[in-house]
């Protein structure tokens, strides 16, 4: 035990001696918490639209006014020809073009129907998809108003149709920050715990102090524990600071038990520390460790369900996602913070994270070799 305490003391002194590392440890996570929740916006607002009105009738003007009044659209331009509007689309000035054909009002009244043309810029697929969805909803409401205006006798039948009333649980306001900030906290832990530990043993190799440690009567598991504890403590401090920013800056309350959240966080930290130590033990230079760690962090980030639903991924990608510890901690943190989940509801996630801890740290001990 005395040997481990001496190693821990040495690691703390080594980390705190480097002022740049200390600044990175605390300044970078705080900046990420202040910036990322505003940059990672899943809501699509102010879709830029160009309207080509070939009819210039009362109904076409009424339809255009609906788009002008909508918060979902920003009416960028109004043209008399489709050729002019398509130039704006090609120059990425607009996201959607709505073309109102000639004789739109006459055909709508006489034939009880007409067709509108919508052209979407699908370079940004999400914006194009949601933009056309919003467009269809506005046109649908406009069409219903026309039907009721010309056929008032069917109003009673419309009122007797199926009425769907939805209720939203756990995130009633639909604020994307409530969904993203808990996951960004997990990202902070991954970056801090992963990068720092990945560079740690490699730094010992480069400055030559690893040789002095290798000739001491310290067992491998003692060495690994001595390396992990300081960064485990630092990761906890970073996580708690992130929680305070989440609660007091963004106003996102922790509906579940804070102690339960910290329990899951600490188990996850141990698994990421193990991954960082594996990389650090195998790499020969800090540059190698940084590139390998960057690769793993990108995989963890993109495959964890942070930005997209895992269910929408192909089967092979889902297999990768469910083999990553970050996937389970993101699910647990969102469940505890947003839903207020109890331990009995998410106990399986803790078991899976515990398995990752055993695997990662077991491999860390096996991959580190003392050389006399």
Average confidence (pLDDT) per 10 residues, the chain, 372 residues: 71 71 74 79 76 86 86 84 84 86 80 77 75 85 76 54 59 74 86 77 70 66 76 87 90 90 93 85 79 81 78 85 91 90 91 93 76 44
**Confidence (pLDDT) at 210:** 64
Identify any residues that bridge with 170 across adjacent strands, giving them in sequence order: none
Write out the two tokens for 365: 């001990």
Burial of 26 (0-12, 13-18, 19+ CB in 10 A): middle
Map out the domains of the chain with their CATH numbers: 2-40+172-367 (no CATH), 47-159 (3.40.1710.10)
- The answer to whether 98 and 118 have CB atoms below 8 angstroms apart is yes
Q: What pLDDT is stored for residue 208 in this prediction?
A: 66
Alpha carbons 93 and 77: distance in angstroms, whole number: 10
Cα gap 99→283, rounded to integer Å: 59
For residues 67 and 44, give the distance between their C-alpha atoms in angstroms, rounded to a whole number: 15
Contacts for 200-205: CB closer than 8 Å, 24+ residues apart = 200/11, 200/227, 200/231, 200/276, 200/277, 200/280, 201/227, 201/277, 201/280, 201/281, 201/368, 202/280, 202/283, 202/284, 202/285, 202/286, 202/288, 202/289, 203/286, 205/284, 205/285
pLDDT recorded at residue 27: 79
Element (H, E) at 74: strand 73-79
Give the residue from 28, 27, 26, 23 showing the smallest Cα distance to 234: 26
The crossing angle, in degrees rounded to 10, of helices 176-207 and 325-334 is 140
* Predicted pLDDT of residue 53: 87
Nearest CA to 77 out of 65, 63, 88 is that of 88
Q: How far is CA 123 from CA 89, 91, 134, 157, in A?
A: 11, 12, 18, 42
């Amino acid at each position: 035990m005395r040997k481990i305490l001496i190693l821990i003391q040495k690691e703390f002194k080594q980390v705190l001696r480097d002022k740049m590392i200390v600044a990175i440890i605390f300044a970078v996570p705080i900046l990420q918490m202040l910036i990322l929740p505003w940059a990672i916006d899943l809501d699509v607002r102010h879709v830029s639209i160009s309207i080509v009105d070939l009819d210039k009738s009362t109904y076409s003007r009424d339809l255009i006014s609906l788009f002008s009044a909508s918060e979902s659209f920003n009416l960028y331009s109004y043209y008399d020809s489709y050729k002019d509007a398509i130039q704006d689309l090609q120059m990425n000035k607009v996201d959607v073009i709505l073309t109102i054909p000639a004789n739109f009002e006459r055909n709508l009244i006489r034939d009880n129907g007409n067709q509108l043309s919508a052209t979407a810029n699908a370079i940004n697929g999400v914006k194009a998809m949601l933009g056309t969805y919003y467009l269809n909803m506005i046109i649908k409401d406009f069409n219903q108003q026309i039907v009721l205006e010309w056929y008032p006798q069917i109003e009673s039948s419309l009122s007797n149709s199926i009425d769907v009333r939805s209720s939203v649980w756990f995130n009633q306001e639909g604020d994307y920050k409530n969904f993203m900030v808990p996951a960004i906290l997990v990202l902070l832990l991954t970056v801090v715990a992963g990068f720092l530990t990945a560079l740690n043993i490699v730094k010992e190799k480069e400055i030559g102090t690893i040789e002095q440690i290798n000739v001491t009567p310290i067992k491998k598991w003692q060495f690994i524990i001595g390396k992990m504890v300081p960064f485990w403590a630092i990761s906890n401090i970073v996580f708690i600071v992130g929680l305070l920013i989440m609660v007091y800056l963004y106003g996102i309350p922790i509906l579940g038990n804070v102690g339960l959240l910290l329990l899951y966080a600490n188990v996850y930290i141990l698994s990421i520390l193990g991954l960082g130590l594996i990389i650090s033990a195998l790499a020969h230079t800090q540059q190698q460790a940084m590139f390998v760690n960057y690769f793993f962090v990108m995989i963890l980030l993109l495959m964890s369900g942070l930005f997209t639903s895992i269910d929408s991924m192909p089967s092979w990608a889902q297999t990768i996602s469910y083999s990553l510890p970050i996937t389970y901690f993101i699910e647990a943190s969102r469940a505890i913070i947003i839903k207020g989940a109890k331990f009995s509801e998410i106990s399986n996630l803790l078991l899976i994270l515990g398995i990752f801890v055993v695997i990662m740290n077991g491999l860390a001990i096996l991959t580190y070799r003392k050389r006399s």
